[in-house]
Structure 1
Amino acid sequence: MSFFVTGTDTDVGKTLIASALLHAFAARGLRVMGMKPVAAGSVAGIWHDVVELEQASNIVAPLDVRNPYRFEPPVAPHLAAQQAGVVISTQVIQAAYRQLSVLADVVIVEGAGGFCVPLNDTESLADVAQQLGLPVILVVGMRLGCINHALLTVLAIQSRGLRLAGWVANCVNAGMPLLDENILAVQQRINAPLLGIIPHALNISAMQTARHLQVDKLCL
């Protein structure tokens, strides 16, 4: 019952959807924990995606387990790590996940950027998803170009032998032309359930977002 949440790009709402999933599973009486293996980009020393996942979780775990790697610059993880003189280890991430999986019934692991974002010279977040062996939930940011981005990401997920458990249409752009037609085009081409359509709204909370998700549709 754990999942890896990825997106078609950066800033498509992965943290919002990951946190909403935590609320949805917690409402079923499950112990839930959000994990952010790598966070890049802080505001006044605060990594807001890490904080949001913590607030949506209903059990407690050390920060370095929930979030093994944190970097201040809002750049690609491998570049942020290079600037900090750090080499991101997928073994460290795997060990942290194993600790969380003992504590929680459901661990939601949120990626960074898109599915294939590099972590070091040879590995990417796609490798992490594959090593953890988790079903993937894809967040599609509904904007121009989203169909191509969604289909390419699905191909990348499938190439790793991973199951696409479902996808979410997140309406990140207000007034996107032909929104319904774009959602239908993605839905017709992805062999995985549409878990929900998140309307465009400023400052929508994770708990409010959870009401738009149908986790019972997940392909387990």
Structure 2
Amino acid sequence: MKEFFITGTDTDAGKTHVTSLLLKLLAQHKKQAIGFKPLASGCEMAFDQLVNADALILMESATVSAKYDVINPFAFAPAIAPHIAAEQAGVTITADKLSSAYKNVKQQGADYILTEGAGGWALPISNTDYLYNWVKAEQLPVILVVGMKLGCLNHALLTAAHMQSIGINCIGWIANQVDPNMDEYQANLDSLKLRLPFPILAISPYSEQTPKLQIYKTLLENFALNT
């Protein structure tokens, strides 16, 4: 089983967009893959339960199906930081609970598990803990989604520096062009290629039509897909 954690430089960097494309890539290669969205806020009532649009996208893109509660075990209505929403709902999020939920995902029979984080990299899950501590404990290889917009250099470099400081295995990064009008897009992309200590895996160019992913060989190698 191959497992990966997809994080972003900040909120709205495009984690769900990229994770969905990666799941579809695995589907094209006839792989059994599932998405996992452990924490989600900004949920709405549907089917007599709180559901999150991002989690539903992952479910639609996966080749392995599972109950919604398995894909998104912690769902909160307010569109605020999950640990604050959890506190308001009287729910305690711990690394042990996340690991228990992750075991349920592992039991679904997938060969690939793509776990999508929430917000940016330094996401609190309580007043004393962060989601990245759980990622480290589970020893999950990380893929960093860089939302290509003004400020992305700072966000990406700070995130990468923190990952290195705590010994995270970041296998690479994916550039997601969230701003179609970004000034000097190519120059910023080249700067990130030069400065980030991880290899680029793919580029998702801005598109109002069918989303696309320009794939680098390094991504195929990490996913063990035939080129």
Cα deviations by residue, 1:58-112 (Å, 9 ceiling, x for unpaired): 1122222211100011100111111111111221211222232242111000000
TM-score, normalised by the number of residues in structure 1: 0.92
RMSD: 1.7
SS at match of 2:174: strand
1:87 aligns with 2:92: yes
- Superposed, 1:6-155 pairs within 5 Å as 6-43=7-44, 45=46, 46-102=51-107, 103-155=109-161
Identical pairs, percent: 39
Supply the distance in 2 between the matched residues of 1:95 and 1:213 (Cα, whole angstroms): 33
- Confirm or deny: 8 A CA contact 2:13 2:145 kept in the other structure: yes
- Superposed, 1:162-177 pairs within 5 Å as 162-177=168-183
Equivalent of 2:215, from 202, 213, 216?
Answer: 213
Return structure 1 stretches of 4+ with deviation > 6 angstroms: none
Supply the distance in 2 between the matched residues of 1:213 and 1:23 (Cα, whole angstroms): 13
Name the aligned partner's letter for residue 28 of structure 1. Answer: H
SS at match of 1:165: strand
Name the aligned partner's letter for residue 175 of structure 2. Answer: A
Name the aligned partner's letter for residue 12 of structure 1. Answer: A
> How many matched pairs?
216
Supply the distance in 2 between the matched residues of 1:93 and 1:104 (Cα, whole angstroms): 18
Supply the distance in 1 between the matched residues of 2:86 and 2:132 (Cα, whole angstroms): 17
CA shift in 2, pair 1:187/1:217, >3 Å: farther
Cα deviation, residue 195, structure 1: 1.6
SS at match of 1:95: helix
Give unpaired runs (5+ residues) of structure 1. none
2:205 is aligned to 199
Larger relative contact order (CA 8 Å, sep ≥ 6): 1
Cα deviations by residue, 1:26-74 (Å, 9 ceiling, x for unpaired): 2222110000010011245541101000001111222222111000111
- Confirm or deny: 8 A CA contact 1:8 1:115 kept in the other structure: yes
Supply the distance in 1 between the matched residues of 2:14 and 2:206 (Cα, whole angstroms): 11
Supply the distance in 2 between the matched residues of 1:181 and 1:57 (Cα, whole angstroms): 34
TM-score, normalised by the number of residues in structure 2: 0.89
